[in-house]
Structure 1
Amino acid sequence: MKQAFSGFSPQTAEFFLGLAVNNNKEYFESHKAGFEQHVLAPLVALARDLAPHMQLIDPAFETRPVQGKAIARLRRDTRFTRDKAPYRTNLWLGYRRPSERNSMCLGFFFDVSAFSVSWGMGMYGPYRPLMEEVRGHILQKPRKFTALVRGKDFIKRFELEGEKYRRPVLREGGEEVLDWCNRKYAALVHDQPLDASAFSPALGQAVKDDFILLAPLYRLLRGMPPIRIKD
């Protein structure tokens, strides 16, 4: 029987803290069981719970709950980086279209580390062609866009992140439109400590509720028609 998400645990933080100090294969192999039980298993369960909703938000999303698909691999690709540490000290779920690379995508994410959990929707980093597409969809429906991001739940739950241009790309428009359109990339992020609030099924419900809340904005930014997604 597939296990439903029941939360993380203090051992989740312990694993990542230990790996940060001993980032080598020997340490990981000796603590692999802890990784599988306290990090990977909860992420798999969360990914399974979220998958039906994510497929409704965007049928093109990769939702298979395995590493290398919806779940990131703990092992890093160090071929083209100066940092040769073999393992990540965080792990995440990522919902994106397979045609888009991680660094050049618009999608949803959930991240867990030794100190925090975070989740949200947006772009991973600067990628001009995608941001131009996003900007175009915002400018096609500025009133609808503004109504979504002005919602009290949006303001309460998420922080807008993303590097701004030194010189504005757009000089005329509403405050929210200008704030988004004058960035190199944009993402809405909710962040909280990895504490007792993350050690129960309530965390999974909060993530699901927030992803459903973000769905209309995601579809607008993609130029997709609106749909109703039930909890």
Structure 2
Amino acid sequence: MSDFINPIKQSLFDFLSELKLNNNRDWFADNKHRYISDVRDPLLEFIYHFGEPLGQISPHFIADSRPNGGSLFRIYRDVRFSKNKEPYKTNAGVHFRHIDGKNVHAPGFYLHLEPRSCFAGCGVWRPDGVALKQIRDEIVDNPQNWMDIVSEKNFQNTFDFHGEKLKRPPKGYDSEHPQIEDLKRKSFIVLSNLKEDQITSPEFPVIFTEILKSSSPFV
């Protein structure tokens, strides 16, 4: 059932807002208990309970509520090769990836929580060359099936495409193909914007479930 009690509260956004203003190790150490109680644990609870409605949408995606290595992204940034040395992410992310996937590039459903910038995402982000070619070839071989999915009314009313595109047609594909603009995509992801009061409302598990249902043929 998708009508479980929503554990996500306004305190999650309060913590992330304060973290953005105090993105340093000393502040985080003093407030780590808040991260655990207001961000990590509620999201792990959400992930755990969302396993059932996710399985009803598709049995091929995972809701893994482990605190490490599961569906919840780490709060710690990898700053080794980044000019931005802030140690913590100022958003919380949840990735319900495909059962055969091993990283963020796997097909999946995504929940992004950030003050004034929340959304649900679906699809494949920056797939490797082999997977990207498979997607493009599927569009070329079955163009009507692709158009039926992306032109469906509920899908169009719910989602917008995002992600980088090539400036020129990809090598090996007809530049005159009717779906050439889609074939230029480097990622096949769609986003649906959410408001904070939606996410903290008792109805959010149902709201999120319905969004993912709208995208399931695409994913």
TM-score (norm 1): 0.80
Change over 3 Å in CA distance of 1:50–1:99 after alignment to 2: same
Q: How many residues align?
A: 213
Structure 2 runs not aligned, ≥5 long: none
Structure 1 runs not aligned, ≥5 long: 219-231
Change over 3 Å in CA distance of 1:173–1:134 after alignment to 2: same
**8 A Cα contact 1:76 1:88, kept in partner:** yes
- Following superposition, the deviation at residue 116 of structure 1 comes to 2.6
Give yes or no for the alignment of 1:33 onto 2:37.
no
- Following superposition, the deviation at residue 42 of structure 1 comes to 2.9
- Following superposition, the deviation at residue 62 of structure 1 comes to 3.8
Give yes or no for the alignment of 1:182 onto 2:196.
no
Pairing of 1:9-88 with structure 2 (within 5 A): 9-55=9-55, 59=59, 61-67=61-67, 68-88=69-89
Question: Secondary structure, in 3 states, of the residue corresponding to 2:23?
Answer: coil
Change over 3 Å in CA distance of 1:70–1:5 after alignment to 2: farther
- Following superposition, the deviation at residue 56 of structure 1 comes to 5.5
- Following superposition, the deviation at residue 99 of structure 1 comes to 5.6
Pairing of 1:35-184 with structure 2 (within 5 A): 35-55=35-55, 59=59, 61-67=61-67, 68-97=69-98, 100-125=101-126, 127-169=128-170, 170-174=174-178, 177-184=179-186
Question: Secondary structure, in 3 states, of the residue corresponding to 2:77?
Answer: coil
Amino acid at match of 2:33: A
- Deviation track 1:109-158 (CA, whole Å, cap 9, x = no partner) reads 11101223211212223643322111122223221221111111111110
Change over 3 Å in CA distance of 1:38–1:4 after alignment to 2: farther
Q: For 1:54 and 1:136, locate their aligned partners in 2 and report how far apart those are by CA, in whole Å.
A: 28
Percent of pairs identical after alignment? 23
Segment drifting more, 162-171 vs 100-109: 100-109
> Who is 1:221 aligned against?
none
Q: For 2:159 and 2:39, locate their aligned partners in 1 and report how far apart those are by CA, in whole Å.
A: 25
Amino acid at match of 2:161: L
Question: Secondary structure, in 3 states, of the residue corresponding to 1:216?
Answer: coil
**8 A Cα contact 2:108 2:124, kept in partner:** yes
Q: CA RMSD in A?
A: 2.5
TM-score (norm 2): 0.84
